[in-house]
Amino acid sequence: MRALLQRVSRAAVAVEGARVAAIERGLLVFLGVYRDDDEAAAKRLAERTLAARIFADDSKPMNRSVLDVGGSVLVVSQFTLAADTRRGNRPGFAAAAPPEVAQRLYACYVAAVQSGCSHVATGEFGANMQVSLVNDGPVTILIESASRNAQP
């Protein structure tokens, strides 16, 4: 499982021209799910998302978590994070979880984030979404589940 975290001043998601979610200061999280991921990986990745120290305080530019700054989290499913781009020009998606598995693990991740953060918004799983954001920094961090880190 991969979570691409973007520290944002604001972010929003629209589907077919209608806004479905928006946040102010916080994290925009693009979440990719692999075939071999499970609920434990989703929960652990959610914990790591909330604990990631990528917000500034008075002494360091990256010393506080989204929880420390009272920020929001917007989670958007993005199966393309599971793309294999090692060969050719067209990405392969054989490692991506099938939609029914990915949706279940996406929901598990969102629930785990919601258990720790008071303001969590989501995109629409499987929809063609238009995402707008103001990346603060810019700061973009990729975190992966333990099973992803173990592979080359």
Q: Whole-model pTM?
A: 0.93
- For 127-152, what is each residue's pLDDT tens digit? 999 999 999 999 999 999 865 554 43
Q: How high is the pLDDT of residue 151?
A: 45
Q: Name the nearest CA neighbour of 119 among 67, 62, 68.
A: 67
Q: DSSP code of 64?
A: B
- Annotated catalytic residues are 78-80
Annotated domain spans of the chain? 2-143
How far apart, in whole angstroms, are the C-alpha atoms of residue 74 and residue 30? Answer: 8
- Cross-strand bridge partners of residue 84: 92
How far apart, in whole angstroms, are the C-alpha atoms of residue 14 and residue 57? Answer: 32
Q: How high is the pLDDT of residue 150?
A: 44
Least confident of 44-48, 56-60, 108-112, 129-133: 56-60
Say if residues 113 and 67 touch (Cβ distance below 8 Å). Answer: no
- Regarding the domain delimited by 2-143, which CATH topology (the fold level of the hierarchy) does it fall under? D-tyrosyl-trna(Tyr) Deacylase; Chain: A; (3.50.80)
How far apart, in whole angstroms, are the C-alpha atoms of residue 75 and residue 98? Answer: 19
